Amino acid sequence: NKTWLCSKKLLHTDLITVMHRRDQCFPGILSGVEKLRLQGQITEGSNMIKTIAFGRYELDTWYHSPYPEEYARLGCLYMCEFCLKYMKSQTILRRHMAKCVWKHPPGDEIYRKGPVSVFEVDGKKNKIYCQNLCLLAKLFLDHKTLYYDVEPFLFYVMTEADNTGCHLIGYFSKEKNSFLNYNVSCILTMPQYMRQGYGKMLIDFSYLLSKVEEKVGSPERPLSDLGLISYRSYWKEVLLRYLHNFQGKEISIKEISQETAVNPVDIVSTLQALQMLKYWKGKHLVLKRQVRVCLAALHLCLGCLWVLTICSEFWGRN
């Protein structure tokens, strides 16, 4: 179960530790979904795909996605979970699966730990796959607008492998050249994999890529409702852990940003939301007492962290 990560760029540090909190420490994610359903924000359109047959799952959809009209009228869409081709019936899907040679996403596998892998997929080289991925994502995202213009983007697709192939967990996309330093354009965890920590892992992976590029990153706005919940929780955890381990007397937002790759605006908004930031005698102060209170509330300890150690030697692999 060797963990490895590769890229064309080399890390300047020998070791990077990426922390993942186990999902049971974030029960608010479920309540967030329930609130959205109660508020009617997860809606059904009059001409909308209601369910999709995806691998061994039948998933209820949340939002309209602009599939061709002859497919949208079906109610249930049948989809190959490996190549993401969509079909009109179970019979057609069964015939397709008998001859489909795909067992994992296209592109380069750049991360692996146990059964979990991440593939880097170029939207220009794998246009149809990425377009189908975007159409699939729109069924579960309210603010997504990218469907067909995928060529300027890279897609990082997370999968879980078994003896039948690599099953889609989720993905995030990012612009190849973002002038605003967005490290995520769109992010999705498939419904059957929610509340298992994979959303946080995708977010953490996006910030790891920012560290490798020696940039400070931030997700593109607007975030989906569930995306906003996940990001706020992630920023909170990263900042609390950084402050918990900080040994100096003075700290700057710039230093925190450089160490975590989190945008200063996101850092300040998170500190304000946690009531940790106070203005006194012309200076902004971080309240240590409030840090301890928040740490206790979140039960932030090594026992509930998922630690991934990523070695720099693999970043030179082709």
* Residues involved in catalysis: 220
Residue 14 carries which DSSP code?
Answer: S
Separation of alpha carbons 165 and 306, rounded Å = 25
Element (H, E) at 20: strand 15-21
State how beta strands 51-54 and 76-79 pair.
parallel
Backbone φ and ψ of 47, nearest 5°: -125, 75
Structure tokens at 270: 């998170």
Residue 3's SS3 state is coil
User: Rounded to the nearest 5°, which phi and psi values hold at 277?
Assistant: -100, 130
Number of Cβ within 10 Å of residue 225's Cβ equals 18
